[in-house]
Structure 1
Amino acid sequence: MRRILVPALINLALILSACAPSTDANPGNEMPMSGNDQSMMTATPGSMTMDNPEAAHMMEPITAPNVQPATGTEGGQPLEFREENGVKVFELTTKAVQWEILDGVTVTAYTYNGTVPGPMIRVTEGDQVRIIVKNELPDPTTIHWHGVEVPNAMDGVPDMTQAPIQPGETFTYEFTAKPAGTFMYHSHFEGDVQVSAGLYAPFIIDPKEPEANPPAVDKVLMISESLLINGQTYAPMPMSGMEPNYFTINGKAFPATETITVKKGDLVRLRFIGIGQFIHPMHLHGVPFKIVATDGHPVPEAAQLTKDTVSVAPGERYDIEFVATETGQWMLHCHILHHTTNDNVEPGGLMLVINVVE
């Protein structure tokens, strides 16, 4: 019995000693935090202090000295080009604008040619393309051609494949458009800020050989987020204090999102592009769809999944197709239901209506 009690008493004493308050603790038993501990504190936009100025810059409001009115009300519209010696030449200007994501809700946006998303560049596989970029932002920038096969010098990675385009400077990208598929272009300089602020757009490469069964309706849907606090725009991030409070499809939050009207019996293609920092499971009401391409690459027919929800992660692209079999107004929305709110008010955010008519 003695052999059992002695070890038990020793263990009990050790436990009580560990639980006793330390004489080194602050009043209220609150231990002082180390520098590493303090870095784990909840961030508040605009008030978080950091030793690293570059990190602190990420938490500042998005501003510019020369903010202009938006050049249009809809983003992602086709960009016109001119042809020079067989090369398709496009021109882009980065500029800061006031962009309305919803009636009465405006953000400060960094844009290509004054809209969010920027204009859609649409070419054919094998085309020689030249894109002339003029930077009118207060900060340097670059463009990355996400998923497109380009020469290394055209990849748009700052201080690796090119020097950043300084304010007031111009840079020319040139490459052969390949492969066919759904792609995008976006800033690769301080991407947390510049992409979140609106520097993104679709880049569609059509196949050289015409499709045997092209869709009657072909829409690009770029999915992103915004953070607006007390009238100031911030770059939303997946961290405490920086989560977005607005969610957008092609730069708009419901009910300002586009209503897509199709005819009963139409083959419809939707091209989802995840350009934000969060995953969005997009759910279609009324009819199942097939996933016909992922990240710009076609899925063989035998491998095409039939689904009603597809999760679109940052940087991913999914082409889905369906036949509109029933008339009526059908909802397409993110199934993380908080993402269908505007500043925590339903309905809003990542929702749009597909209107099927006779």
Structure 2
Amino acid sequence: MFSRRNFLRASAVSMVGAGLVSNASVASIPEAPTQTSPTMVAPVLPGAGRPYNPVATLNGWTLPWRMRDGWKEFHLVAEPVIREFAPGMVANLWGYNGQSPGPTIECVEGDKIRIFVTNKLPEHTTVHWHGILLPNGMDGVGGLTQPHIPVGKTYVYEMVMKKSGTFMYHPHADEMVQMAMGMMGFFVVHPKDPRQHAVDRDFVFLLNAFDIEPGAKTPKNSTMLDFNLWSWNSRVFPAIDPLVVRKGDRVRIRVGNLTMTNHPVHLHGYDFEVTGTDGGWVPPTARWPEVSADIPVGAMRAIEFTADEPGDWAIHCHKSHHTMNAMGHGVPTMIGVDHRDVVHKIIQVAPDYMVMGERGMADMQEMEMPIPDNTLPMMTGRGPFGPLEMGGMFSVVKVREGLARGDYKDPGWYKHPPGTVAYEWKG
């Protein structure tokens, strides 16, 4: 029987953080060099894969591969993991290779792909390659197209990449539980010709949601609607990576949705075009300008724009409660309620009582309210002008002049030119 104690013990030995592959993965399939330079323009070398501009996975990494007899080989290990949503909160999840979501798989149109999947979960699993054209027996639907992968066993998937585009992977076995526990990942297939659909910066992240009670660490896996943590790649603001680009860069952002609701992802400061779905690339004649892209359930959208306006530009889900952490359900509305006649009486029996909500929730950002351990405040993070009053599905596209090519570390907050910041009218 797999007890909570065993779950935590298994989770504790899982590696945490970007760039780490589990010991089982390293032992079974030796890691090979992977193409990671964002400016690589190398010639095609026989047996060494093809050149491409790698994607940047927010708070994640790309899975290493090796070439063997014309096959590009990867290894995924399905296992319990520990994921830090933001400083102050970690969760017991299930994922791949020490992380949830799992590492991004990158390859090239025409590649022959072999993926080893080892099951270290407490139950059977499979992997479905969402949106990829492949033989029926490789589609990963347990009981329909293959036997389930038993605990402790390794299965092999083989396929030829028939088209480029953006796809996902996730279980098709005990799907509600396993996806609610964080099992998912991105799968990017680059064009054969690296000049086709070329961009300078190519970001990917998955939208996911969890129901974790304040003070707890393990998600409820039977929740269908009332989620309280809305995340990108199992991270929440202010711990989601910024999207750093150089002024003039052509930028692509690929977003996949494996939650149970749609998400209108909104970018400030720019209009963009939707250039791809998990069905393929959108022809230029079918594109139109947008500032928000609605990502349906079980779908992917790729958007593109040219970063010609410097600044710190917000990018977030436009469902307002999706930019909140540890969001509560059934909280009463207190706006307009006069507490003055009762607050002193309440304090006599509850000395730590604080009046809140009668003028809205913004004051909570400045209050030092006690919260349970391993729980995040609903609104967290500060910017150069004070509290940002956001959480959850929120990050910043940081467009800067003068960045050296390939140097995309966080440049800090934008320094506004004089006279370009909103100001108080003192007329």
TM range (shorter): 0.7 to 0.9
Match of 2:208 in 1: 224
Q: Please state how far the C-alpha of 1:235 moved relative to its aligned partner.
A: 2.5
Contact 1:76 1:201 in 2 (8 A): no
1:99-178 paired onto structure 2 within 5 Å: 99-178=83-162
Q: Please state how far the C-alpha of 1:309 moved relative to its aligned partner.
A: 0.5
SS at match of 1:173: strand
319, 324, 335: which one aligns with 2:302: 319
Mapped partners of 1:261, 1:102: distance in 2? 20
SS at match of 1:77: coil
Q: Please state how far the C-alpha of 1:276 moved relative to its aligned partner.
A: 1.4
Contact 2:237 2:393 in 1 (8 A): yes
Contact 2:314 2:396 in 1 (8 A): yes
**Amino acid paired to 1:233:** P
344, 348, 352: which one aligns with 2:391: 348
SS at match of 1:352: strand
Contact 1:125 1:208 in 2 (8 A): yes
Contact 2:180 2:219 in 1 (8 A): no
Mapped partners of 1:139, 1:282: distance in 2? 35
Q: Provide Cα deviations, 1:273-312, integer angstroms capped at 9, x if missing partner.
A: 1111121100000010101112241111111021000111
224, 239, 242: which one aligns with 1:238: 224
Mapped partners of 1:271, 1:211: distance in 2? 18
Match of 1:88 in 2: 72
Identity among equivalent positions (%) equals 36
271, 291, 298: which one aligns with 2:281: 298
Mapped partners of 2:223, 2:398: distance in 1? 33
Mapped partners of 2:235, 2:175: distance in 1? 20
Computing the radius of gyration from Cα coordinates, the structure with the larger value is: 1
Mapped partners of 2:112, 2:197: distance in 1? 26
260, 264, 267: which one aligns with 1:284: 267
Mapped partners of 2:238, 2:264: distance in 1? 19
Structure 1 residue 68 and structure 2 residue 37: aligned? no
Contact 1:69 1:99 in 2 (8 A): no
Mapped partners of 1:295, 1:128: distance in 2? 20
Q: Please state how far the C-alpha of 1:210 moved relative to its aligned partner.
A: 2.3
Q: Please state how far the C-alpha of 1:64 moved relative to its aligned partner.
A: 6.3
Q: Please state how far the C-alpha of 1:156 moved relative to its aligned partner.
A: 0.6
Mapped partners of 1:296, 1:157: distance in 2? 19
Mapped partners of 1:264, 1:355: distance in 2? 9
Q: Please state how far the C-alpha of 1:321 moved relative to its aligned partner.
A: 0.2
SS at match of 2:211: strand
Q: Please state how far the C-alpha of 1:212 moved relative to its aligned partner.
A: 4.2
Mapped partners of 1:144, 1:85: distance in 2? 25
Structure 2: runs of 5 or more not aligned: 19-58, 328-377, 380-389, 402-427
Q: Please state how far the C-alpha of 1:238 moved relative to its aligned partner.
A: 3.1
Mapped partners of 1:238, 1:279: distance in 2? 13
Q: Provide Cα deviations, 1:35-84, integer angstroms capped at 9, x if missing partner.
A: xxxxxxxxxxxxxxxxxxxxxxxxx9x95662235524235411111111
Mapped partners of 1:173, 1:212: distance in 2? 28
**Amino acid paired to 2:12:** Q
**Amino acid paired to 1:234:** K
**Amino acid paired to 1:66:** A
SS at match of 1:193: helix
Contact 1:125 1:178 in 2 (8 A): yes
Match of 2:385 in 1: none
Q: Provide Cα deviations, 1:196-218, integer angstroms capped at 9, x if missing partner.
A: 21111111111112234611100
Structure 1: runs of 5 or more not aligned: 1-59
Q: Please state how far the C-alpha of 1:237 moved relative to its aligned partner.
A: 3.5
Describe the shift of the 1:212–1:154 C-alpha distance in structure 2 as closer, same or farther (beyond 3 A). Answer: closer
Describe the shift of the 1:306–1:182 C-alpha distance in structure 2 as closer, same or farther (beyond 3 A). Answer: same
Mapped partners of 1:99, 1:127: distance in 2? 32
Mapped partners of 1:178, 1:233: distance in 2? 37
Q: Provide Cα deviations, 1:231-250, integer angstroms capped at 9, x if missing partner.
A: 032126434xxx11111112
Mapped partners of 2:135, 2:309: distance in 1? 46
Structure 1 residue 207 and structure 2 residue 250: aligned? no
Q: Provide Cα deviations, 1:179-210, integer angstroms capped at 9, x if missing partner.
A: 21000111111111111211111111111122
Contact 2:81 2:100 in 1 (8 A): no
Q: Please state how far the C-alpha of 1:135 moved relative to its aligned partner.
A: 0.4
